[in-house]
Structure 1
Amino acid sequence: MSLSYLIRRLGAVIVVLAIVTLAVFAITNVLPGNAALMILGENATPENLAALERQLGLDQPLHLQYLHWIGGVLQGNFGMSLRLGLPVSDVVGGAFVNSLWLAGIALATVTVIAIPLGALAAIKRGTIVDTVIGLFSYVGTALPEFVTATLLLVVFARPENPIFPAGGFTPPTEDLPSFLDHAVLPAMTLGLILMAHISRQVRSEMSEVLSSDYVRAARLKGLSEGRVIWRHALPNSLAPAVAVISLDIGYLLGGIIVVEEIFAWPGLGRLLIYALQNRDLPVIQAITLLLAVVYALSNLLADLIIAKLDPRVRYA
């Protein structure tokens, strides 16, 4: 992989994140509610409000407030939570680790299952297997997270005979089996839609590859069908699948907000809802920026993987 390609992609990520910081700061500053008012309460006197605004720097022009904020962010200082009175990095850090566990389980499971599922549908194209997998994909993409979560709760977490817990969280360092039990339903909720997207994409790309001239040539040379599929067809179908997975991380980050609230999972999604309800602007800014960083880095990683799978991308 060429160094110039890597530098170009890193430069694009830095530009995107710089724009995101401006957008996050601007949007949170037009939200109703003042940080000083949130701290002192509605009964605060104008004199106390003015004094606290000077202390927090809220009386300064917006561009100076932005420079002060971004300077702290670059040093890892996101400020203090207005409601909890704790450093934002401590509040968000623990929630981020919990969300990372959930998203990682969902994404890993989906990737391991969806790619072979899509490949199988392409190999069995036109058969009952292809039809069943296609039906699953359409149903998966049609159901939103809250509907999928409700159905899973009804089937697997009935009060009279629960198979998995209906909600809650146990740290994996304390009790790993209990953690996995609690993670099954939220990870399954996130994974079903992702699995449908990825399997459909792999099926579409692999069907096209299996009809290509070089695959026909490989078969005419007498190569076994397994070698043709796993050595030639599947690797050339993975680049679009990697692109879809990186885009679906955006869905994963959005869907995790709903899923964590439904299953009482103490991650970034639940924390963001709490911060929005309480106008905790530093926490909102930190979470939004963190989600943007994760999405940008995941797309950078996907670009590098695609460039490795398909060298033509590097020179485009």
Structure 2
Amino acid sequence: MGDILGLVGKRLGLGLVILLVISIIIFFMVELLPGDIAQAVLGQGATEDNLAALRKEMGLDKPAIVRYLGWLSGAVTFDFGASVVTKEPVISLIGERFMNTLFLAAYAAVIAVPVAIVLGVLVALLRNSIFDRVANVATLTSISSPEFFLGYILILYFAVKWGMFPAISSLSDGMSFGELLNRTFLPALTLVLVVVAHMMRMTRAAIINLLASPYIEMARLKGTPPWKVIVRHALPNAWAPIINVVALNLAYLITGVVLVEVVFVYPGIGQALVDAVSKRDFPVVQACCLIFAATFILLNLAADVGAILTNPRLRHPK
């Protein structure tokens, strides 16, 4: 148990260091953007007094390192400042949208994870068959297609031609859970098509790699049915790489939804990020990027912990 806690502690410490480095990159990349932020917010007709007052209000009259330390100390307590455009606290502006993004990612994950694992087992069981080849072509096509392209294809057929689902995923407070699932089905399906392909191929590769092991050969020589060889012997030992790829794809579901949310006008944090960039609302941009980075690091940590818990060699390193 101590070894596991030590490994988790090391991963967590490394994650915090990486997040600190990312926060520095985010802040100073925004600082290096061309143009005057105050001028962009107030417009060309702003007077020098108004520009100076806004720069003082935003802290632009202070050195960059002082502003970064102040922003970082606030970010630790989830205080990302106020929006330049709406003057609302950033955390209240993006809090609900982040929950919408988490819901969309969870919706896609509930569909994608079991489908990917089942398909991965089937194509490993039917390796080199017609089904395996068709599945490989389909998954390579899905992986190679950009998310926005898949989204527009789904809108064309499911929304425009067949009228089964709405093309715009607008949400309201009074809608039922069934209506919520209906309105968010197309963006969730777009994410599913992207991540299922990757998870299925990794599951297939992990199981096929284990099928050459001596204990698998022994099980086959004993006359064990092929499906039982995979389900009882190969799959339990393949959980470590499968959990790792599932966690990484879950991270993608949360951090890679920007294009999908823009295509379907979904009110998530990705859409908020795009709106903030267009309006040069830099406090919102910095907060969204930091939340994306923290989420990705946490899910990578979860992947490492899952791999440690499912692999005795990692739990008891020599």
* Fold-level similarity (TM above 0.5): yes
Structure 1 residues 198 and 63, CA gap change in structure 2 (3 angstroms)? same
Decide whether the 8 Å contact of 2:142 with 2:193 is kept in 1: yes
| In 2: Cα distance, 1:222 partner to 1:173 partner | 58
* Displacement of 1:173: 6.6
Deviation track 1:79-133 (CA, whole Å, cap 9, x = no partner) reads 1111122110011101101111111111221111001101110011122221222
Structure 1 residues 172 and 309, CA gap change in structure 2 (3 angstroms)? farther
| In 2: Cα distance, 1:273 partner to 1:66 partner | 22
Q: How many equivalent residue pairs?
A: 315
Supply the AA of the counterpart residue of 2:9: I
What is the aligned partner in structure 1 of residue 236 from structure 2? 235
SS at match of 2:170: coil
What is the aligned partner in structure 1 of residue 168 from structure 2? 167
| In 2: Cα distance, 1:222 partner to 1:125 partner | 19
* Displacement of 1:168: 2.3
**Structure 1 residues 127-136 or 58-67, which shifts more?**
127-136
Correspondences of 1:1-316 after superposition (within 5 Å): 1=1, 2-158=4-160, 161-171=162-172, 174-221=175-222, 223=224, 225-253=226-254, 255-314=256-315, 315=317
Supply the AA of the counterpart residue of 2:163: P
Decide whether the 8 Å contact of 1:218 with 1:228 is kept in 2: yes
SS at match of 2:128: coil
Decide whether the 8 Å contact of 1:169 with 1:179 is kept in 2: no
Supply the AA of the counterpart residue of 1:41: G
Deviation track 1:110-165 (CA, whole Å, cap 9, x = no partner) reads 11100110111001112222122212211211211122112111221125x40111
Supply the AA of the counterpart residue of 2:108: A
| In 2: Cα distance, 1:51 partner to 1:163 partner | 53
| In 2: Cα distance, 1:147 partner to 1:54 partner | 44
Decide whether the 8 Å contact of 1:164 with 1:182 is kept in 2: yes
| In 1: Cα distance, 2:49 partner to 2:26 partner | 29
| In 2: Cα distance, 1:267 partner to 1:16 partner | 25
Structure 1 residues 39 and 148, CA gap change in structure 2 (3 angstroms)? closer
| In 2: Cα distance, 1:87 partner to 1:39 partner | 17
**Structure 1 residues 289-298 or 123-132, which shifts more?**
123-132
| In 1: Cα distance, 2:58 partner to 2:12 partner | 34
| In 2: Cα distance, 1:187 partner to 1:220 partner | 44
* Displacement of 1:223: 4.7
Unaligned runs of 5+ in 1: none
SS at match of 2:257: helix
* Displacement of 1:171: 4.8
| In 1: Cα distance, 2:181 partner to 2:237 partner | 34
Unaligned runs of 5+ in 2: none
Deviation track 1:19-42 (CA, whole Å, cap 9, x = no partner) reads 111111111111234443344333
| In 2: Cα distance, 1:171 partner to 1:215 partner | 53
| In 2: Cα distance, 1:14 partner to 1:59 partner | 30
Decide whether the 8 Å contact of 1:69 with 1:78 is kept in 2: yes
The Cα RMSD (Å) is 1.9
| In 1: Cα distance, 2:62 partner to 2:163 partner | 56
Decide whether the 8 Å contact of 1:33 with 1:279 is kept in 2: no
Decide whether the 8 Å contact of 1:38 with 1:82 is kept in 2: no
Supply the AA of the counterpart residue of 1:211: A
TM-score for both structures, normalised by structure 1: 0.93
Supply the AA of the counterpart residue of 1:181: N
Structure 1 residues 10 and 173, CA gap change in structure 2 (3 angstroms)? farther
**Structure 1 residues 290-299 or 49-58, which shifts more?**
49-58
Structure 1 residues 143 and 242, CA gap change in structure 2 (3 angstroms)? same
| In 1: Cα distance, 2:256 partner to 2:74 partner | 29
SS at match of 1:293: helix
**Structure 1 residues 268-277 or 173-182, which shifts more?**
173-182
